[in-house]
Structures are given as C-alpha cells and as structure tokens.
C-alpha cells in the first residue's frame, strides 16, 4: 500500500489516497501510527472521492478512534488533492465528518480553510476544578487559560480532563497563555493521541473562545509547538478562517497483509 507522510504545523499523519488505494484494515491504524514500530504519526487520514463535495477525508486518531474533523489534516488533504491533480481549481469543497468545508490553495504551501461557525460555545464551563470555555467546532474542545504553558503539567491534567464524565465522547483540551492582544500561545492534549505539536480545530476553538471573551480581536495568531496558525473572523457571516502550512514529508510503500 502506498502512502504519503504530511504535516501541518508538525501535526503529522499518514495519508492514504483512496482514489487509488483500497484501505479497510482499520485495526492496523494504531500500528501504522506507532513511531517506533510503524510509519509514525498522530493518526491516519484517508483521502476519498465524495458524492457531495470535490473530495472527502476521514480522520483517525493514533488509537484508531475516528474523529469528526482535523483542521491541520484538512489543509494537508486539500494540498495533496490539488498538487496531485485530484482537483484542478485552487478553491474547492472538502467533505468532513463535521460537514463540508471551503478551502483555498495559497502560495508557499499555505492553505486557507473556512472552519465555519462554532456549533456551540459555553462560557464559565468547569471541569474537574478547572474553569474555562467549551467550544464545539465539529468536535469538542475545552479551553482554559494558564499563566505559563511551558511549565504547566499538560500531560497530567490533559489526560484527566479528556475523560471527565462531562464529556461522554471525551474531549480535546487546550491550555492557553495570552501573549498580547493579537497573539495566543497554546498546548493541546488531543483525545486519543495525547499531547501533539499542533491541532487545527483546537487552535480554532482557542481563537473563538478568546474572541468571545474579548481577549483578541477579529484577527489573531495562535502559536503552537509546531508553528503558527492565523485566524480571521468574518463579522458578517460569523465564520472563522484558518491559514497554515501543509507540507509533504515523503512518500512510501508498506506491506500490510
């Protein structure tokens, strides 16, 4: 089976082009994602034909669980589809489990994606003694502001909050430090994957929460361990746009039996 390793701000996945490959070994996703015994990545993403959009993606965490949406993954799918000739135009529609997203290929391996409107936002949301904001952008996120993200015990607290009883399907947890009125710093604990270097939907949720709380305006940069993501809010529609990189690392072939 042929595959492509790609990353968006260091959020790396194994991408399988299901226009050409058949993949039904979902039991192997944890093995393929394993960084010592497999290809290695934060999970596996399938690039598929779509009946309702130009291309479709399915995203699986490193533990094999399927997630609704991945912003970094969506940008990489868009870049792959365009650069490999699956899509001819720079603007097109991408089907995800969280709905159809509009994407646009920019220059220098940058992709802008319309993340849409947040589906749900709840302020003063308390989880296991931590106060924050709950935001759903197709998948669930809990955002809490901390003084210093570098010294904060992300692994210990993230693992606990992910499986809190208030989240029946688990949740992604974002720990945020405000740098200034246009800059936020974030570390993320992703459900099913642990701490990752980046999470596009998580950064989107952080921007949404911070904008709603008046911490940032209608444009902001979210700094994550893997790089920077840029956001803008369309005041007329309420839709959030994210721009970030989409990088092909290498192509390979693996025998899965």
Count of helices and strands (H, E) across the chain = 4, 18
Domain boundaries of the chain, sorted by first residue: 2-105+245-253, 120-238
Separation of alpha carbons 244 and 8, rounded Å: 7
pTM score of the predicted model: 0.92
The active-site residue, picked from 18, 70, 76, 221, is 70
Does the active-site annotation cover 221?
Answer: no
CATH 3.30.230.10 fits 2-105+245-253, yes or no: no
pLDDT at 194: 92
pLDDT at 192: 87
The active-site residue, picked from 37, 76, 199, 221, is 199
Q: What is the mean pLDDT of each run of 10 residues along the chain (257 residues)?
A: 97 97 96 95 96 98 92 96 97 96 93 96 97 95 96 98 97 98 97 91 97 98 97 97 97 90
Token readout for 16 is: 């399988």
What are the tens digits of pLDDT across the range 245-255? 999 999 999 99
Separation of alpha carbons 75 and 97, rounded Å: 15
pLDDT at 99: 93
- Helix ranges restricted to H, 84-237: 154-162, 200-212
Token readout for 138 is: 């197709």
Does the active-site annotation cover 199?
Answer: yes
* Assigned architecture for domain 120-238: Roll (3.10)
Nearest to 16 by CA among 50, 59, 54: 59
């Amino acid at each position: 089976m042929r595959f492509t390793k790609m990353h968006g701000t260091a959020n790396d996945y194994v991408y399988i082009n299901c226009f050409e490959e058949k993949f039904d070994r979902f039991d192997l996703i944890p093995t393929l994602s394993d960084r010592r015994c497999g290809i290695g990545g934060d999970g596996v993403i399938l690039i598929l034909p779509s009946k309702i959009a130009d291309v479709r993606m399915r995203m699986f965490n490193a533990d094999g669980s399927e997630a609704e949406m991945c912003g970094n993954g969506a940008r990489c799918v868009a870049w792959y589809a365009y650069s490999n000739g699956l899509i001819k135009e720079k603007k097109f529609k991408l089907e995800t489990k969280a709905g159809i997203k509009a994407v646009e290929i920019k220059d220098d391996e940058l992709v802008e994606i319309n993340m849409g409107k947040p589906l749900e936002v709840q302020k003063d949301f308390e989880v296991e003694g931590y106060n924050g904001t709950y935001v759903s952008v197709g998948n669930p996120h809990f955002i809490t502001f901390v003084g210093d993200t570098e010294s904060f015990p992300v692994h210990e607290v993230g693992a606990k909050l992910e499986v809190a009883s208030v989240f029946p399907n688990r949740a992604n947890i974002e720990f945020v430090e405000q740098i200034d009125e246009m800059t936020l710093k974030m570390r993320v604990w992703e459900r099913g994957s642990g701490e990752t270097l980046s999470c596009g939907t998580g950064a989107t949720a952080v921007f949404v929460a911070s904008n709603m709380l008046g911490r940032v305006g209608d444009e902001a940069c979210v700094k994550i361990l893997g790089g920077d993501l840029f956001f803008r809010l369309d005041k007329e529609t309420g839709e959030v746009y994210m721009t970030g990189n989409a990088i092909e690392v290498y192509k390979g072939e693996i025998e899965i039996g």
